């Protein structure tokens, strides 16, 4: 059974930094395209970033230059380093596995990041 | 960015009803559309990928169709557990985008 467990969320001040983690079991993160998707409170879904199995990374324009996706293959953990946080980064952040036709078939439970002064 | 526009934004229906949700892409995207169901406080669940392929374990009352710019998700006979928010998502390019969601409520 695939399990993705996010952690690291919390209350942050604007301009601060935070690193989210996604511990995977039942799936090897280095063998799949792994993504971060976020959802602002009461709002829809926004794709944030992807890391390919080969290591290439891509970001939404809204986070490019501020967020960095990475993984630790030895620990089977996906990360999202978030710098220069803004109020509009407030959201539940989900770690997801990419499946066929660019769909997302496995999701974590999400971790809430709140950016507020 | 490819914009995905869902309609309606909300829909009231009864158990046993047949309902259809529409998603329109801002450009032609082939069959690169996926559909999700989300219940309050939970992560979304994949229902359909590649516009019409049912994901493993998803009941057959769910179906998808379409290609190009217009796509539909149909629930043939609503069950109590189907009342939720539904999202479409395009995977035509790297920068995935989602529709704004359709809230399916009990009439």
- Is the minimum CB–CB distance between B83 and chain A shorter than 8 Å? no
Averaged pLDDT of chain B: 98
- Is the minimum CB–CB distance between B45 and chain A shorter than 8 Å? yes
| Helix, coil or strand: residue B26 | coil
Provide the β-strand partners of residue A46: A38
Contact pairs from chain A to chain B, CB under 8 Å: 62
Q: Which of the residues in chain A have pLDDT under 70? A: none
Kindly tell me if the per-residue pLDDT of B95 is higher than 90.
yes
Nearest to B94 among A50, A94, A104 (CB): A50
Q: pLDDT digit string (tens) for B15-58?
A: 999 999 999 999 999 999 999 999 999 999 999 999 999 999 99
- Look at residue A42 in the predicted model and tell me its pLDDT: 85
Q: Do B49 and A44 touch (CB under 8 A)?
A: no
Q: Per DSSP, which regions of B1-101 are E strands?
A: 4-7, 10-13, 19-25, 33-38, 45-49, 53-54, 62-67, 70-75, 85-90, 97-98
Q: pLDDT digit string (tens) for B48-84?
A: 999 999 999 999 999 999 999 999 999 999 999 999 9
| Helix, coil or strand: residue A99 | coil
Q: How far is CA A81 from CA A49, A64, A78, A98, B107, in A?
A: 11, 12, 10, 20, 44
Q: pLDDT digit string (tens) for A70-91?
A: 999 999 999 999 999 999 999 9
């Amino acid at each position: 059974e695939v399990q993705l467990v996010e952690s690291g969320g919390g209350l942050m001040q604007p301009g601060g930094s935070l690193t989210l983690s996604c511990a995977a079991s039942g799936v090897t993160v280095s063998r799949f395209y792994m993504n971060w998707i976020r959802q602002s409170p009461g709002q829809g879904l926004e794709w944030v970033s992807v890391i390919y199995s080969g290591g290439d990374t891509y970001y939404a324009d809204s986070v490019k230059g501020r967020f960095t996706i990475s993984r630790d293959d030895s620990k089977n953990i996906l990360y999202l380093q978030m710098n220069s946080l803004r109020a509009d980064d407030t959201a539940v952040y989900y770690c997801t596995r990419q499946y066929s036709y660019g769909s997302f078939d496995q999701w974590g439970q999400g971790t809430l990041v709140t950016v507020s002064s | 960015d490819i914009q995905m526009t869902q309609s309606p934004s909300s829909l009231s229906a009864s158990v046993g009803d047949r309902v259809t949700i529409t998603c329109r892409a801002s450009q032609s995207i082939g069959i690169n559309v996926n559909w999700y169901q989300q219940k309050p406080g939970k992560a979304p669940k994949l229902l359909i990928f590649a516009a019409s392929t049912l994901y493993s374990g998803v009941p057959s009352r769910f179906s998808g169709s379409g290609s190009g710019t217009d796509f539909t998700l149909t629930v043939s006979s609503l069950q109590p557990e189907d009342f939720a928010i539904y999202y479409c998502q395009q995977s035509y390019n790297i920068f995935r985008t989602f529709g704004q969601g359709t809230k399916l409520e009990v009439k």
